[in-house]
Amino acid sequence: MKTACPLDCYDACDVIYNDGVISGDLCPHLHHYEKYQQITTPTYKGAKISLDEALNKLKEILKSSDAKDILYYKGSGNFGLMQEVIEHFFSSFGATLTDGSLCDGAGEAGIVEGRGENINMPISEIAKSEVVIFWGRNPHTTNSHILPLLKDKKIIVIDPIKTKIAKMADLHIQIKPRGDFYLAMLLSRFLYIEGGCDIEFLEEFAEDYEDFYELTQTIRIKKTLDKIDVSLGDIGDLLALVENKKVAIVCGVGIQKYRDGADIMRAIDAFGVNLGLFGKEGCGVAYLGNSKDGITSPFYTKAKRVCKVNTEFDKFKSVVIQGANPLSQMPDTTRVKKSLAKVENIIYFGLYENETSKIADLVIPAKDFLSKNDIRSSYSYSCLKEMPKVKESEFGVSEYDLSRFLCDEFDIELKSEKSYIEHFKNSNVVEKKQTISEFEFLDTIDLTKVDKHKLHLITPKSTKSLNSQFKRDDFVYINSSLGYLENECIKVSSDNGSVELKVKISDDVRDDCVLIYSGTKGVNNLTSSFVSYSGKSACYQENQVILESLD
Ligand SMILES: Nc1nc2c(c(=O)[nH]1)N[C@H]1C(S)=C(S)[C@@H](COP(=O)(O)OP(=O)(O)OC[C@H]3O[C@@H](n4cnc5c(=O)[nH]c(N)nc54)[C@H](O)[C@@H]3O)O[C@H]1N2
Ligand SMILES: Nc1nc2c(c(=O)[nH]1)N[C@H]1C(S)=C(S)[C@@H](COP(=O)(O)OP(=O)(O)OC[C@H]3O[C@@H](n4cnc5c(=O)[nH]c(N)nc54)[C@H](O)[C@@H]3O)O[C@H]1N2
Ligand code: SF4
Ligand SMILES: [Mo]
């Protein structure tokens, strides 16, 4: 039987389930999916209870609070569209929901500010390109199904880490973190000087290109190149590889984990515009697209919302957390912990035990994707993949059944599960050509300063975990020149907090960087609740860090 992987991932793979065995062209998470121990029994204040008791407890808690004192917080542990059926209940009920992003919000805002809307570059176009620039995306880990498309293409990688793709690339610019804005601006400037801009395209779609060129001229070349650790040779080499070629600039979330993430993405887009990449075969700028493009919600979703990045949980009496592990994955864990500690009722609805389930008063196990009906889309390519139930499970409750229970109890209208899935199935999800009608260039430069004396925190995705699901990493990766020993336990600190981790020496990491993967316990002690200037997004790499020996 055919279904699809439910995880928050570029690839959205097809999954075959036969006789209890999962197969398909899958990554390690899915191959070992059924080995990860799920929560099977609901608990209240640590004591095991039945599912009926758990549902009734939830009903009681909701009845005992004013709707305005209830917060519903949803994460991205499962990417299925039916996850939102619980949102339908809580919006209708009058609870507060969240907005903003722990993920790609800053980059998305930068795209919208420049191009007007975020239409992603279709994978079928990437397949036709001659040159692919991976800019802050790590395909071997996060997007492995794009790799077969790269055969015979020139590869350029811009990443502070010598990733696997960087080692295979024709050109790797091992840039200093958050140097991307300046690199993109200087690339546009030198492209203009060399006469490489697509003037015909610019005249039609981006008429302020000369003003933008003037803005790029305000950047001092030598000083800036030194600051971002890029050479004039790198710029020349990159331009030589892309000029008059079909180019795909494939960006990931790595470029925008900063307060000014939107401007960084917009500067990269501007380089793409100067090259005239939009609307041409094999050309474009890819990022995480809008996975809901063409899909209207059949659910009621109007609600008061608070930002997901710096949520003040303590303003609420009851907090319902679904498909998320905020105690690990939100920035500024110390703040999150303190804020959640003041909440009277924390309800966790999820698949696995984690930091958040451990502090929850009421734990309700969810059913996994194999045991419920769903459908999903993707932020990487246009698709709708049905995810029918392929097996029965004796424990847990599906999102639909939980919503059914709550809607019945509180007299809120809910249609049949089938009708919602049909609604999604009939959505108009089609591949769109990546065109722009009018590009708005940035007109000022206003970036946060970096501290030369501290190290940069790089916190990307790990091969073995999906954020905090599955096998979580527990090391800090640093360059050998920093003088620490393999397996030595050290303290990493920022202005926000600290974490003690064992060292793994890796010279793939720049000597001014410290790498700790997403999902590593304690990594977000280091990060702060700053919200990006644009896009209401978390800024996991805004804080710089220092290291200390523990002996
Ligand atoms: N295995 C696995 N796959 C996943 C996930 C996972 O946890 N594990 N998570 C999924 C999710 S939720 C998402 S959002 C996607 C994200 O997937 P990606 O977009 O690939 O994101 P990251 O791994 O966070 O970062 C990508 C690269 O950016 C680089 N980088 C960091 N800082 C900078 C910088 O300042 N400049 C530049 N140029 N590069 C920088 C990092 O070194 C890293 O190699 O992956 C999805 N896929
Ligand atoms: N330091 C650092 N922090 C980061 C990031 C980073 O790169 N670095 N990345 C950020 C990004 S891009 C993202 S997207 C977030 C992700 O952060 P979260 O949204 O918190 O996602 P996960 O860590 O995957 O945890 C999700 C939980 O969802 C539950 N779950 C899984 N499937 C289901 C289901 O079908 N139903 C229900 N009810 N629950 C389910 C599981 O119990 C799992 O523990 O993390 C962010 N945090
Ligand atoms: S996590 Fe991503 S790569 Fe792995 S099976 Fe799911 S969609 Fe495919
Ligand atoms: Mo994400």
pLDDT, average across residues 516-536: 98
Last residue in a domain, options 240, 258, 286: 286
Which of 132, 159, 163, 471 should be mutated for ligand 1, with most atoms under 8 A from CB? 159
Is pLDDT at 27 greater than 90 in this prediction? no
CA distance 27 to 116: 35
User: How far does residue 229's CA lie from ligand 3's centre (Å)?
Assistant: 34
The reply to whether 275 and 165 lie within a common domain is: yes
Q: How sure is the predictor about 377, in pLDDT bands with cuts at 50, 70 and 90?
A: very high
CB-based contacts of 336, cutoff 8 Å, min separation 6: 311, 313, 326, 327, 330, 524
498-532 CB burial, b ≥16 within 10 A, e <16: bbebebbbbebbbebbbbbbbbbbbbbbbbbbbbb
Q: Does residue 52 belong to any structural domain of this protein?
A: yes
User: How far does residue 389's CA lie from ligand 4's centre (Å)?
Assistant: 25
CA distance 282 to 137: 19
CA quadruple 252, 280, 266, 142: dihedral, nearest 10: 0
pLDDT digits (tens, 9 = 90+) for 182-198: 999 999 999 999 999 99
Which of 7, 145, 368 should be mutated for ligand 3, with most atoms under 8 A from CB? 7
User: How far does residue 466's CA lie from ligand 1's centre (Å)?
Assistant: 11
More confident residue, 446 or 175: 175
Q: Does residue 432 belong to any structural domain of this protein?
A: no
User: How many structural domains compose the chain?
Assistant: 3
CA nearest to 391, candidates 416, 368, 366: 368
Is pLDDT at 2 greater than 90 in this prediction? yes
The reply to whether 118 and 249 lie within a common domain is: yes
pLDDT, average across residues 514-539: 98
Locate the ligand 3 atom nearest the alpha carbon of residue 11 and give its number.
Answer: 7
Is pLDDT at 493 greater than 80 in this prediction? yes
Judge if the beta carbon of residue 478 lies within 6 A of ligand 2: no
Q: What is the pLDDT of residue 447?
A: 87
The reply to whether 189 and 88 lie within a common domain is: no
CA nearest to 32, candidates 398, 475, 469: 469
pLDDT digits (tens, 9 = 90+) for 197-212: 999 999 999 999 999 9
Is pLDDT at 376 greater than 90 in this prediction? yes
The reply to whether 139 and 253 lie within a common domain is: yes
User: How far does residue 330's CA lie from ligand 2's centre (Å)?
Assistant: 9
Locate the ligand 1 atom nearest the alpha carbon of residue 138 and give its number.
Answer: 20
The reply to whether 140 and 257 lie within a common domain is: yes
Locate tokens 């804020």: which residue?
339
Locate the ligand 3 atom nearest the alpha carbon of residue 466 and give its number.
Answer: 1
pLDDT digits (tens, 9 = 90+) for 119-133: 999 999 999 999 999
CA distance 417 to 70: 25
Q: Does residue 444 belong to any structural domain of this protein?
A: no
pLDDT, average across residues 311-324: 98
- Domain containing 266: what range? 105-286
The reply to whether 96 and 120 lie within a common domain is: no
The reply to whether 418 and 460 lie within a common domain is: no
The reply to whether 253 and 302 lie within a common domain is: no
Q: Does residue 264 belong to any structural domain of this protein?
A: yes
Is pLDDT at 28 greater than 90 in this prediction? no
High-pLDDT (> 70) share of the chain, %: 100
Residue nearest atom 9 of ligand 1, based on CA coordinates? 466
Q: What is the CA radius of gyration of the chain?
A: 24
Is pLDDT at 522 greater than 80 in this prediction? yes
Is pLDDT at 30 greater than 90 in this prediction? no
Judge if the beta carbon of residue 352 lies within 6 A of ligand 2: yes
Which of 8, 85, 467, 542 should be mutated for ligand 2, with most atoms under 8 A from CB? 467
pTM equals 0.98
Locate tokens 């790595």: which residue?
254
CA distance 136 to 519: 19
CA distance 519 to 464: 10
| DSSP result, 370-414 | GGS-EEE--SSS---EEE---S--SS-B-HHHHHHHHHHHTT---
Q: What is the pLDDT of residue 31?
A: 82
pLDDT digits (tens, 9 = 90+) for 218-263: 999 999 999 999 999 999 999 999 999 999 999 999 999 999 999 9
pLDDT digits (tens, 9 = 90+) for 150-163: 999 999 999 999 99
pLDDT digits (tens, 9 = 90+) for 261-279: 999 999 999 999 999 999 9
pLDDT digits (tens, 9 = 90+) for 466-484: 999 999 999 999 999 999 9
Q: What is the pLDDT of residue 250?
A: 98
User: How far does residue 518's CA lie from ligand 2's centre (Å)?
Assistant: 10
Judge if the beta carbon of residue 310 lies within 6 A of ligand 1: no
Q: What is the pLDDT of residue 32?
A: 87
